[in-house]
């Protein structure tokens, strides 16, 4: 079992920054990929950034160069540093854990076993 709790969301103006955190408890060492997803109203949930167990990162094209995913050494905290935020980044952000070993982090929400409750990010123009 893995429990995930996100924090750090809020409202910022376009061009601003936010740092999201995800506190993980339980069997976090068994997670192959830890990832951030987001879901805007009326939209499907989409992958934003992933970090697999060997440290490789994956980013959606829409956030490359602006967002950075990282994890503490104990794998108890997952972070998403978001810079140069845009109004289209407005969404609920979720962290998720995938226990299956894969060639790389999956972008399919169905592949993730555990989810946090989400933290909301609003970017105004």
**Mean pLDDT across 51-68:** 95
E strand or H helix at 52, and its extent?
strand 46-52
Task: Report DSSP state, residue 15.
Answer: T
| The three-state (H, E, C) secondary structure of 60-76, written as one string | CCCCCCCEEEEECCCCC
More confident residue, 89 or 72: 89
Lookup: tokens for 66: 């602006």
Lowest-confidence pick of 4-8, 29-33, 67-71: 29-33
What pLDDT sits at residue 17?
A: 98
**Mean pLDDT across 46-62:** 95
Residues 88-111 as b/e (b if ≥16 CB within 10 A, e otherwise) read: ebbbbbbbbbbeeeeeebbeebeb
Tell the burial category of 55 from Cβ atoms under 10 Å away from its Cβ (0-12, 13-18, 19+): exposed
**Mean pLDDT across 62-72:** 97
- pLDDT-above-70 percentage for the chain: 98
């Amino acid at each position: 079992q893995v429990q995930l709790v996100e924090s750090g969301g809020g409202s910022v103006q376009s061009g601003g920054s936010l740092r999201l955190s995800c506190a993980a408890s339980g069997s976090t060492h068994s997670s192959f990929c830890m990832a951030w997803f987001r879901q805007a109203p009326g939209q499907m949930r989409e992958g934003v950034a992933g970090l697999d167990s060997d440290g490789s990162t994956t980013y959606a094209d829409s956030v490359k160069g602006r967002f950075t995913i990282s994890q503490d050494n104990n794998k108890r905290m997952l972070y998403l540093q978001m810079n140069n935020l845009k109004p289209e980044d407005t969404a609920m952000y979720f962290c998720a854990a995938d226990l299956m070993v894969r060639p790389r982090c999956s972008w399919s929400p169905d592949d993730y076993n555990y989810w946090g409750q989400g933290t909301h990010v609003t970017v105004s123009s």
